[in-house]
């Protein structure tokens, strides 16, 4: 199997009547079998060819997670063209910039974006046609029904393994687009290297939650399950209660998510236990401890039996969760493990298609991001005394480079090695641990390195804190001028403070919140070594700025709070 077109050809033949995709619409799940999907893909590919799309032409795709997005992507790569996945949350300015840079000839978009996309034609000279993902479309726009139901003729071109399959933009900077060029070989290799580690099968039902334009979801939540003949269910929304409802209704077995989502699930489970009273709370804690002991020490998972209601609330068929996009608190993994639910953590970049390492069901070390996937090389560059250094990797999944940006390509691809910019170490068993981003490391006056993620893990466990972001601030005067010190931007947990005020008969005020958090920071500091202490903190009433995959944007935090 060399190209993504081979995925479609194989699966149409092997899994014809199995359901490939399903989504709830007007209260009913609409299903697309592999056979139906294959016909739609071929028909859309032919329609694109008739619109003048040839091998190597760029076709942009923008929309929410849905079967039409997946079918569009498969059709573009089936034809030998290049898919340009765009974030549905992009500003109009960024959409224009990425379309201009990629010279996209066609854009396939969600119905709610069609009005916006129609207005782009005069601003993007290369853009020749717009296709709506809806059944019907306004005059001048092709409807999805029209392009996937026409009679097909001969498709003139066939992609090769070295052809570009996807051009993924990773920067939102309007003046400096950075398109990652991923070939069929890059993506196919990564899918085939990862799926055996999870024992996927046609019996599995994946819940697609993460933004599908993101390479992690494209590979792990779409192409991986699709290749193995599994069913993919698209979540109605990102609201946790609707995600849980979809899991219950469809019997989800696997889901890829981000740490924040699993934290919300975990907090909800704990909160329900606490609401049942002190006896239930103590019993819950004892059962959790017993289950974790059996799992980690004896090697027997009894959590599913002890916590039947937790499993039932998540649909009753869940096999495991996969976490990616950012580091997850090990305490959350251990908590779910005590319930008999495994969370597997992985690591990668868009530039590596994206998975470089991952934990597996038989090899899951809590706190690590797993071992390197077969066929990929990974090493630590310039390790310090603790073995921490920059992670570099090479293999068949490493990108071809940045589109039109040889200067940037040369900075990260050196002698075939991808310089990730991430810091970490590899233990004696080959498990990789991420300690932070090289550019985010705080270097103190004594020359010690402080990794923000390490401090955030501890802060975020405090009941008074909803979320935090630790940043380095340069000292502007005195003997330590030029050195950095750690500051924290903190979002208070208002549920905690409302309960605290009611129980203690005091008025809830900003001064009360600040004084209590100040006390918690003091207690945090006396437990830490000198160079890791939080020097000062800022409170934020609003959620901290994040990417579409819920990763905190440190630069924006520093800019918004005047900490640059």
Asked whether 323 and 337 are in contact (CB, 8 A), the reply is no
Distance CA 154, CA 46 (A): 8
The CATH number given to 4-188 is: 3.40.50.12780
**How many beta carbons lie within 10 A of that of residue 549, not counting itself?**
17
Identify each DSSP E strand in 453-533 by its residue range: 465-474, 484-492
Handedness of CA 18, 22, 24, 26 (dihedral sign): negative
How many CA atoms does the CB half-sphere of 147 hold within 13 Å?
28
Distance CA 317, CA 283 (A): 25
What residues contact residue 417 under an 8 Å CB cut-off, 6+ apart? 392, 393, 394
Q: Strand, helix or coil at 82?
A: strand
Distance CA 203, CA 224 (A): 14
Q: Strand, helix or coil at 29?
A: strand
Angle at 210 between CA 459 and CA 63, to 5 degrees: 135
**How far is residue 381 from each of residues 393, 411, 423, measured CA to CA in Å?**
10, 15, 9
Same fold for the domain at 258-437 and the one at 441-560?
no
Taking only the tens of pLDDT, the chain with its 564 residues reads 899 999 999 999 999 999 999 999 999 999 999 999 999 999 999 999 999 999 999 999 999 999 999 999 999 999 999 999 999 988 898 899 999 999 999 999 999 999 999 999 999 999 999 999 999 999 999 999 999 998 888 998 899 999 999 999 985 433 467 899 999 999 999 999 999 988 889 999 999 999 999 999 999 999 999 999 999 999 998 888 899 999 999 999 999 998 888 988 998 898 888 888 888 788 888 888 888 888 877 778 888 899 999 999 999 999 999 998 777 888 899 999 999 999 999 999 999 999 999 999 888 999 999 999 999 999 999 998 989 999 999 999 999 999 999 999 999 999 999 999 999 999 999 999 998 888 888 877 666 778 888 899 899 999 999 999 999 888 877 656 667 889 999 999 999 999 999 999 999 999 999 999 999 999 999 988 888 899 999 999 999 998 877 888 888 998 898 887
Among candidate residues 547, 191, 554, the one with its CA nearest the CA of residue 348: 191
Asked whether 358 and 344 are in contact (CB, 8 A), the reply is yes
Give the residues across from 473 on adjacent strands.
485
Distance CA 443, CA 5 (A): 48
Where on the phi/psi map is residue 458: left (φ > 0), alpha (ψ -120 to 50), or beta? alpha
Assigned architecture for domain 258-437: 3-Layer(aba) Sandwich (3.40)
Handedness of CA 502, 505, 507, 512 (dihedral sign): negative
Helix (H) or strand (E) holding 283: helix 278-293
Domain boundaries, the chain: 4-188, 258-437, 441-560
Distance CA 512, CA 416 (A): 55
Distance CA 157, CA 534 (A): 59
Distance CA 72, CA 467 (A): 37
Query: What token pair was written down for 559?
Result: 């800019």
Distance CA 45, CA 24 (A): 26
Fold of 441-560: GMP Synthetase; Chain A, domain 3 (3.30.300)
pTM value is 0.86
């Amino acid at each position: 199997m060399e190209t993504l077109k081979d995925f479609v050809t194989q699966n149409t033949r092997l899994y014809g009547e199995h359901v490939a995709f399903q989504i709830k619409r007007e209260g009913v799940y609409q299903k697309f079998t592999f056979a139906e999907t294959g016909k739609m893909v071929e028909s859309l590919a032919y329609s694109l060819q008739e619109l003048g799309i040839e091998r190597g032409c760029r076709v942009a795709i923008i929309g929410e997670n849905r079967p039409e997005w997946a079918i569009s992507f498969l059709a573009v790569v089936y034809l030998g063209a290049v898919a340009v996945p765009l974030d549905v949350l992009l500003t109009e300015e960024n959409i224009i910039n990425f379309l201009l840079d990629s010279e996209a000839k066609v854009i396939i978009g969600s119905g709610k974006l069609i009005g916006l996309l129609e207005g782009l034609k005069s601003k993007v000279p290369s853009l020749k046609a717009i296709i709506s993902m809806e059944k019907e479309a306004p005059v001048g726009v092709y409807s999805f029904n029209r392009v996937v139901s026409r009679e097909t003729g001969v498709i003139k071109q066939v992609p090769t393994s070295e052809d570009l399959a996807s051009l993924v933009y990773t920067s939102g900077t309007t003046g400096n687009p950075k398109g990652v060029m991923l070939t069929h070989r890059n993506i196919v290799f990564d899918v085939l290297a990862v799926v055996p580690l999870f024992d996927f099968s046609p019996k599995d039902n994946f819940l697609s939650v993460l933004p599908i334009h993101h390479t992690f979801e494209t590979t792990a939540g779409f192409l991986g399950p699709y290749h193995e003949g599994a069913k993919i269910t698209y979540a109605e929304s990102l609201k946790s209660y609707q995600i849980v409802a979809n899991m219950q209704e469809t019997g989800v077995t696997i889901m890829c998510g981000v740490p924040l989502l699993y934290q919300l699930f975990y907090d909800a489970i704990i909160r329900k236990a606490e609401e049942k009273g002190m006896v239930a709370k103590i019993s819950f804690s004892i059962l959790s401890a017993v289950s974790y002991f059996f799992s980690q020490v004896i090697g027997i998972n009894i959590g599913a039996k002890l916590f039947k209601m937790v499993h039932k609330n998540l649909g009753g068929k869940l096999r495991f969760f996969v976490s990616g996009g950012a580091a997850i608190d090990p305490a959350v993994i251990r908590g779910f493990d005590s319930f008999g639910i495994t969370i597997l953590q992985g690591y990668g970049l868009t530039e590596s298609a994206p998975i470089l390492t991952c934990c597996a069901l038989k090899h899951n070390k809590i706190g690590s991001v797993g071992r390197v996937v077969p066929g990929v090389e990974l090493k630590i560059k310039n390790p310090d005394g603790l073995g921490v250094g920059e992670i570099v990797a090479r293999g068949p999944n490493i990108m071809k480079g940045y589109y039109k940006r040889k200067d940037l390509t040369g900075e990260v691809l050196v002698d075939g090695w991808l310089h990730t910019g991430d810091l970490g170490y590899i233990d004696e068993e080959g498990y990789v641990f991420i300690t932070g981003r090289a550019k985010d490391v705080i270097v103190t006056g004594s020359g010690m390195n402080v990794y923000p993620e390490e401090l955030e893990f501890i802060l975020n466990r405090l009941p008074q804190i909803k979320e935090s972001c630790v940043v380095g601030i340069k000292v502007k005067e005195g003997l330590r001028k030029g050195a950095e010190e750690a500051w924290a931007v903190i979002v208070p947990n208002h549920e905690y403070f409302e309960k605290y005020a009611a129980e203690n008969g005091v008025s809830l005020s900003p001064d009360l919140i600040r004084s209590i958090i100040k006390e918690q920071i003091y207690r945090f500091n006396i437990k830490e070594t000198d160079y890791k202490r939080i020097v000062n903190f800022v409170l934020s009433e609003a959620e901290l700025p994040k990417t579409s995959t819920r990763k905190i944007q440190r630069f924006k935090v520093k800019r918004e709070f005047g900490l640059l």
